[in-house]
Amino acid sequence: MTDLWLISVPLDKTSLTNVEKLKRTIAKTNLASCCKFSIPDLKVGILDSLLSVSDDLSKLDTLTESVIKKTHQCMKEVMEQSGDKVLENALANGDVPLLVSGEVMTCCVCFSVDLMSYMTKFQWDKAKYPTALSLSSLADVINKEVSQMETELKSRAAAYSNVKTSLQSLERKLDQTLQTRCLSDVVRKEDLVTSEYLTTLLVVVVRGSYLQWERTYESWSEFVVPRSSRKLCEDGEGAMFSVTLFKRAVCEFKAKAQESKFTVREYSFDLEAKKQQEMKQCSVHKKEQYGIFVRWLKVNFSEVFVAWIHLKALRVFVESVLRYGLPVNYQALVLHTDKKRSKRLREELASLFIHLDPTATSSKTDVSCDIPGLCQHEYFSYVCFHINTNLLEIS
């Protein structure tokens, strides 16, 4: 299992020296990888409002994670467990893969490396999130974007599900029992007699009643053609028989068949062709909707993921100002480690930055915490946010 942390420390002489010590230590011990995370200068506004903004960003973080997971889960369900297709479409900014198929360990590692690549290349999108806006306005922009995606995802997923369900319903009807299945591969034109006076009916007879059928069907009407019954097909439950009779006796024959618990199936080549055409149209419609939906998922997965990383940057900025004060003077870093090394890395960070807050100790840390963002049960001498790398692991 892999861990990604966004941390920030002030740019005082001691902290800067200890950052260099941290880099040397993790390089020697292979505890983690470390790189700078660039956050632009943002408008601080009134300090009193930062607490409210911090709370709003925390709630928005939870919502955004939820939408990312729903979008990715939907993508995986639509692509019907095709890991390769998910890899092709689960991208951030259209060029960094976030998930690969394969064994769990391989999946986690590859996902983390690719996410790390995105994080190290992170650049604030000033066109979408203008730095001239206030912090609360930037939060509103992200909130509006994410909420709109969530609403549209629900709508599009429901619409695609209806199309898929309709096709599956038709397929079940055509593939199940003799009473509903497609007969185009069973009934030939020469099996049916159709003339001015004669017609052929198809009757479903359950197993165990074949002999009863053969003995009784001719007696149900004097207009039944003797010895006209033929077995056309059979499955595990029964068989389909044809019988020829005069058209004037059809109603009488159907009534007798019903009394004897035999089912007369309505059939014509035109009706069968209509069913086939309906299924074909539904299949084509599903294919079209599949392409449209996957394209939408691809674009919006990228959009919501990028919004999420900008949101993380906002949270680091706000918490750094709240923690370290003004003027804004801090350095943000991305730490990439794994669960086995997390505890040791936390201890190393605690020893290097304990001067920032001597009351914070590593013993207060729950390193297994998976709560999005800054865990509510965690407190460190430095600002730290957890990037949930379990986000895309779909059970």
CA distance 229 to 137: 79
Domain boundary among 266, 291, 313: 266
pLDDT score, position 363? 43
Place of tokens 């053609």: 225
Q: Flag whether 181 is in a domain.
A: no
Confidence of residue 391 (pLDDT cuts 50, 70, 90): low
61-75, 140-154, 256-270 — most confident range: 140-154
Name the nearest CA neighbour of 301 among 183, 391, 195, 170: 391
Task: Report the CATH number at residue 10.
Answer: 1.20.1460.10
- Note whether 286 and 381 are same-domain residues: yes
Percent over 70 (pLDDT), the chain: 82
Confidence of residue 376 (pLDDT cuts 50, 70, 90): very low
Number of H helices, E strands in the chain: 9, 10
**Residue partners of 197: CB distance under 8 A and separation at least 6:** 246, 247, 248
Q: Flag whether 272 is in a domain.
A: no
Q: Flag whether 47 is in a domain.
A: yes
- Report which of residues 47 and 99 the model is more confident about: 47
Confidence of residue 116 (pLDDT cuts 50, 70, 90): low
pLDDT score, position 169? 77
- Note whether 299 and 151 are same-domain residues: yes
Q: Flag whether 151 is in a domain.
A: yes
Q: What is the number of domains present in the chain?
A: 2
Confidence of residue 266 (pLDDT cuts 50, 70, 90): confident
Q: Flag whether 275 is in a domain.
A: no
Domain boundary among 213, 236, 266: 266
Above 80 in pLDDT, residue 373?
Answer: no
Lowest average pLDDT, out of 125-139, 267-281, 313-327, 333-347, goes to 267-281
Q: What is the widest separation between alpha-carbon atoms in the chain?
A: 109
Above 90 in pLDDT, residue 177?
Answer: no
Confidence of residue 81 (pLDDT cuts 50, 70, 90): low
- Note whether 235 and 114 are same-domain residues: no
Task: Report the CATH number at residue 204.
Answer: 3.30.70.100
Residues 71 and 297: beta-carbon distance below 8 Å: yes
**Residue partners of 4: CB distance under 8 A and separation at least 6:** 112, 115, 116, 119, 334, 335, 336, 386, 387, 389
- Report which of residues 69 and 393 the model is more confident about: 69
3-state secondary structure of 322: helix
pLDDT tens column, 288-329? 999 999 999 988 988 998 899 999 999 999 999 999 998 999
CA distance 8 to 10: 7
CA distance 34 to 23: 7
Both structure tokens of 202: 């198809």
Above 70 in pLDDT, residue 364?
Answer: no
- Note whether 70 and 157 are same-domain residues: yes
Lowest average pLDDT, out of 24-38, 228-242, 269-283, goes to 269-283
Does the CA dihedral 15-21-26-31 come out positive or negative? Answer: negative
- Note whether 151 and 213 are same-domain residues: no
Confidence of residue 92 (pLDDT cuts 50, 70, 90): low
CA distance 353 to 345: 12
What average pLDDT does this structure show over 194-203? Answer: 91
Above 90 in pLDDT, residue 88?
Answer: no
Above 70 in pLDDT, residue 275?
Answer: yes
What global pTM score does this model have?
0.72
Q: What's the Cα-to-Cα distance from 200 to each of 190, 193, 253, 261, 394, rounded to whole Å? A: 11, 5, 11, 19, 54
- Note whether 165 and 291 are same-domain residues: yes
pLDDT score, position 3? 82
Name the nearest CA neighbour of 230 among 200, 206, 209, 199: 200
- Note whether 254 and 307 are same-domain residues: no
Read off φ and ψ for residue 133, nearest 5 degrees: -75, 155
Above 90 in pLDDT, residue 395?
Answer: no
CA distance 152 to 148: 6
What average pLDDT does this structure show over 147-152? Answer: 96
E strand segments, the chain = 2-10, 33-36, 91-92, 96-97, 198-206, 230-234, 238-246, 263-265, 330-338, 383-387
- Chain centroid offset of residue 57 CA: 24
Provide the domain limits for residue 73: 2-173+281-359+374-388
Confidence of residue 117 (pLDDT cuts 50, 70, 90): confident
- Note whether 58 and 86 are same-domain residues: yes
pLDDT score, position 86? 58
Q: Flag whether 395 is in a domain.
A: no
pLDDT score, position 346? 93
Confidence of residue 361 (pLDDT cuts 50, 70, 90): low
Query: What's the burial of 228, exposed, middle or buried (CB within 10 Å: 0-12/13-18/19+)?
Result: middle
Both structure tokens of 62: 């939870």
pLDDT score, position 16? 94
What is the DSSP track for 234-260? E-SSEEEEEEEEEGGGHHHHHHHHHHT
Q: Flag whether 219 is in a domain.
A: yes
CA distance 72 to 271: 41
- Note whether 27 and 90 are same-domain residues: yes
Q: Flag whether 274 is in a domain.
A: no
Q: Is the peptide bond before 40 cis (omega within 30 degrees of 0)?
A: no
Above 70 in pLDDT, residue 106?
Answer: no
- Note whether 139 and 8 are same-domain residues: yes
- DSSP 3-state percent helix, strand, coil across the chain (nearest 5): 55, 15, 30
CB atoms within 10 A of CB 357: 13
Above 70 in pLDDT, residue 48?
Answer: yes
Residues 39 and 329: beta-carbon distance below 8 Å: no
What value does the mean pLDDT of the chain take? Answer: 83
